[in-house]
Amino acid sequence: MRRKLALVLTVIAGLSLAGCSAKPGNETTAEVKTQGETTVGESAEKAQESSEKSGETKGETVKLTWWMEMSTPELNEAYEAAAAAYMEKNPNIEIEFLGIPGNSADAKAKLDMAFATDSAPDIFECAMPEFIARGNVLPLDGYYEKSELYGKVNEEAIRADANLDPKKEHLYYFPAFMDFRNFWIRPDIYAEKGVEIPETWDEFFESVKKVADPDNNLYGTTIRGGSGGAFNVMCMAYAYSGIPHAFDENGKSTMNDPLHVEFVEKYFDLYKKYTSEDDLNKGWTEIAASFTSGSTASIFHNLGSAHMISETFGGDETKFQMMPFLKSVNGEQCHPEVGVMGFGISASTEHPDEAWDFIQFLSSEGTEYWVESRGGIPTEQSAQKADWVMEKDYYQKAISIMNDENTVFFEVPTYLTNYVNIENNIAQPKLQECMAGICTAQEFLDAWADAMTEEKARYDAENGN
C-alpha cells in the first residue's frame, strides 16, 4: 500500500468521534476478568476518572513510575538523563525509572505480572495489543488531539500505533520514535573484493557469493537463524516480492506466496556455503559481533543498531554503510510499515495527566537525551531536525525513503493478538528446520501461513472487523 498520509488524519478524526467511553454496540456482557484486568470500555471510563483525580493533585509532589523494554546499562543512563531533565523543569514530579533487560517477550512477561498484581507502572514501553484487549491501558487519542504535538507527529507512526487497537477505535500507544529496517554492509570489504554495492536482490545474492572467503573466515552475509530470525525473513520476503498485504481479500495469508518461497530458497541456499554454519542459532548479539569483527560483509537489522555500530568504528563510514531494502522483483522500493515504539499509560494510574505530559516531553524536546542511543528516528517534526539527525547520512536516507510517495509499505501483521506466539512457536522453529534441510521452504511458509490465516479469522470474528 502506498503511503497516503491524508488517510491517517481521517483515522485520528475517527478516533476523536469514538470518544472515551465504550460504544453500546461494542460492550461485552459476560467477560471473565483476572485480577488487575478491566474491559476496554472500563479503561476508557478510567481515563476520565483518573484525569479528574489527577487534576485534584496539582501543585502536590507526584510520583510516576516509568518502565522501558530491551534496556541495557548504556540505555538506562540515557533514559535516566531524560527523566532528570524533565524533573528539573517540573520540580513537583518525581520519576522512578526501571529498565527491563532482554527482549519484548521479557518485558511483556514482567508487565503481565504487574497488571495481574495491580503493580503496573504509570508509563511503559511495550506496545502489545493484548494489553488493550484486557483493558490494561488508557486511550490516548483525547490527550493527543488537545496536545501541542497534534499534527506534528509522523502520521504513519500514529496510524501504526492506532492499528494495534483490536476494535480500531482508539489510540492507546503514543510513538516517540520510528524504527527502520535495513541492511548494514561493510563497504571496505566490498571495495577490497572489487564488488559493487548491490541495487537489486539478484545483485545482492551474487555479491554475497563474490565477497565470501570461508577458508579465511569471511562470509558474504549472516543469516539470523536464532531468535528474531523469522521476523527478518518476513520483512525481506515481502520486500523481495513487492506484495503489500499480509492477507488477500479472503483473509488468506500471503506468507506462502510463490515469490516468498522463491526468496527463501535463494536466501537459505547461501547457508553454510557463503555464510557461517553457526548462523543457525545466531541472535542479534552474535550477528553484531560478526559484523564489527569483519567476519561478515553484511547483516540485516535496523537503525536501532546505528549508534552502536558507529561508535564501534569511531564514526568511520568507510567501514559501515546503511543499505535500504533492495527494489522488489516488480521494480518498486518496498519497505515494512514504519516500525514504532509506543508509550502506554496504565489504566491503574492515579496521575494520567502528569503521565501524558511526561510522554509529550519524551516524544519532543526530550528525544535528544535518549532516541539517538536507542537508534531510532524521532516522530515529531522539530525533533527530526535536531543536529544529531541532520548530520547522519543514514538517518537522512531513511527519512527520505519514508517520506517518498513512491515507496510501497507492506503490512506487518503484528497487530494480531497472537502474532508473537505464532512467530515464536511456529515460524521460528520451522525456520531453523528449513535452514537445516529438515523441511522445504514451501513447508516452512505453508505452516506459517496456515497459522496466520487461522489467527486472522479468529481476530476478525472476535473484534467484529
∠ Cα 78 181 1 (to 5°): 125
Specify the 3-state DSSP secondary structure of 107: helix
Query: What pLDDT does residue 45 have?
Result: 57
Residue 18 confidence (pLDDT): 34
Class of domain 60-177+337-408: alpha beta
The CATH number given to 180-334+415-461 is 3.40.190.10
pLDDT at site 289? 96
What pLDDT does residue 46 have?
52
Residue with cell 483493558: 135
Cβ-contact 320, 187 below 8 angstroms? yes
Nearest partner of 325 among 244, 238, 266, 399, judged by Cα: 238
> In the chain, helix, strand, coil percent, each to 5?
50, 15, 40
Pair 348, 120: CB distance under 8 Å: yes
pLDDT-based confidence at 44, cuts 50/70/90?
Answer: low
pLDDT for 36 beyond 70: no
Ranges for all domains in the chain classified under CATH 3.40.190.10: 60-177+337-408, 180-334+415-461
Strand arrangement, sheet containing 93-99: 93-99, 62-68, 123-125, 343-345
Q: Average pLDDT over the chain, rounded to whole?
A: 87
Predicted pLDDT of residue 347 = 97
Q: What is the pLDDT of residues 47-87, one digit of tens each?
A: 555 545 455 555 689 999 999 998 989 899 999 999 999 99
Higher pLDDT, residue 230 or 20: 230
pLDDT at 355: 98
Other residues' Cβ atoms within 10 Å of the Cβ of residue 330: 11
Question: What confidence score (pLDDT) does residue 58 get?
Answer: 57
Q: Which residue has the higher pLDDT, 405 or 16?
A: 405
Amino acid at 205: F
Reply yes or no on whether the pLDDT at 26 is more than 90.
no
H/E segment holding residue 354: helix 352-363
The answer, yes or no, to whether residue 96 has pLDDT greater than 80, is yes
Mean pLDDT of 342-352: 97
The helix (run of H) or strand (run of E) holding residue 141 is: helix 141-145
Residue-level pLDDT at 59: 64
Residue 464: per-residue pLDDT: 76
More confident site: 439 or 41: 439
**pTM score, two decimals?**
0.79
Question: Using an 8 Å Cβ cutoff, are 184 and 291 in contact?
Answer: yes
Q: Alpha-carbon distance 349 to 358, whole Å?
A: 14
Pairwise pLDDT comparison (10 vs 317), residue with the higher score: 317
Q: Say how many Å lie between the first and final Cα of the chain, rounded.
A: 19
